[in-house]
């Protein structure tokens, strides 16, 4: 939590997302997050817009431990997409972008292989598929 306080009692539906995998930061998101995603399907874009909005109304900064793994190139992501497709996990046409279909295919692969199911298309997944 940003301020170490308990969340208020509410019937508002929320989801937990792990944009950098289970080792990265976790975000509790609400309906407005999905409204932002309708504008741009990037989870990182929607998080940025949400955090900018929070900062504009004076909410605290976020602090997270950095992820220490190499970044993936578009070719790395295409390799992941091609490999997942060959294994029967549909990522769609490989394009080097880890979009919704690639994340869903990654979750299915993770579930099938008894791995943490976070849908994160990162270096660890690349190493597992090699």
57 and 79 fall within a common domain: no
Domain carrying residue 42: 1-68
Domain edge (last residue) among 43, 68, 93: 68
pLDDT, mean of residues 34-44: 87
57 and 24 fall within a common domain: yes
21 and 48 fall within a common domain: yes
101 φ/ψ angles, rounded to the nearest 5 degrees: -60, -40
79 and 20 fall within a common domain: no
pLDDT, mean of residues 5-27: 85
pTM of the prediction? 0.75
Tokens encoding 6: 């308990």
Domain edge (last residue) among 16, 49, 68: 68
1 and 64 fall within a common domain: yes
| Residue 62 confidence (pLDDT) | 77
* Burial readout 9-47 (b: 16 or more C-beta within 10 A, e: otherwise): eeeeeeeebbbbbeebbebebeeebeebbeeeebbeebb
63 and 105 fall within a common domain: no
3 and 36 fall within a common domain: yes
Tokens encoding 116: 């943490």
pLDDT, mean of residues 66-92: 94
34 and 83 fall within a common domain: no
48 and 93 fall within a common domain: no
pLDDT, mean of residues 34-59: 88
60 and 16 fall within a common domain: yes
| Residue 11 confidence (pLDDT) | 87
98 and 117 fall within a common domain: yes
42 and 96 fall within a common domain: no
Domain edge (last residue) among 23, 39, 68: 68
pLDDT, mean of residues 31-42: 88
Q: What angle do CA 36, 26, 31 make, to 5 degrees?
A: 30
pLDDT grade, residue 1 (50/70/90)? very low
More confident: 78 or 24: 78
Which DSSP string corresponds to 67-89? Answer: P-SPPPPHHHHHHHHHHHHHTT-
Q: Which residues, listed in sequence order, are joined to residue 116 by a DSSP beta bridge? A: none
| Residue 3 confidence (pLDDT) | 60
Under a CB-based contact definition with an 8 Å cutoff, are residues 126 and 82 in contact? Answer: no
């Amino acid at each position: 939590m940003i301020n170490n306080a308990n969340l208020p009692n509410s019937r508002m539906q929320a989801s937990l997302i792990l944009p950098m995998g289970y080792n990265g930061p976790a975000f509790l998101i609400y309906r407005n997050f999905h409204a932002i995603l309708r504008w741009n399907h990037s989870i990182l874009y929607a998080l940025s817009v949400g955090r900018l909005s929070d900062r504009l109304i004076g909410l605290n900064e976020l602090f997270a431990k950095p992820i220490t793994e190499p970044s993936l190139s578009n070719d790395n992501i295409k390799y992941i997409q091609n490999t997942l497709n060959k294994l029967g996990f549909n990522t769609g046409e490989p394009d080097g972008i880890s979009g919704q279909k690639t994340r869903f295919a990654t979750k299915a692969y993770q579930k099938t292989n008894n791995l943490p199911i976070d849908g994160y298309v990162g270096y660890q997944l690349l190493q597992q598929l090699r």
